[in-house]
Structure 1
């Protein structure tokens, strides 16, 4: 098992843990990307709007899983949320996250 396999497995475990704790899933992609398909039950908050929605997200009082197309924007969103005291994890790309959530 390589280093990246280990890290990937660890991320899957963290995603499952968040899921079991009732995590809110946030899609940070554009409206056009969202309209092209998304994870059922996810909330759509484009990356540019995350900072403006911090107080609303805090009120949910739940951990957050962010996702986008490949993981770059969702990583940025997760870091922004963490800096504001919200427990968040980067779920990566939406299709791979969808598979992990179905386990």
Structure 2
């Protein structure tokens, strides 16, 4: 969990020390199931965060996450967040946002 928090802090600094809205972080199994999360979700291990767009665009957050070595980036295909996580291989699912 600390690695995720430190990388988010570095992102925040790179964005001019403006806040980053985290809409979801660590989840218990029951919460993860209730929100439709994957059974292998990195949220279950504190290694993922969903980032809301205010005050930054989802595209900006995805680009910053890529530059800060988050290995998993999902979105901004979602309407309301960009998912970032640590995984063993790179996975970017943002084909239309130009990252």
Report the TM-score, using the length of structure 2 for normalisation.
0.28
Between the two structures, name the one with larger relative contact order (CA 8 Å, sep ≥ 6): 1
Greater per-residue helix proportion: 1
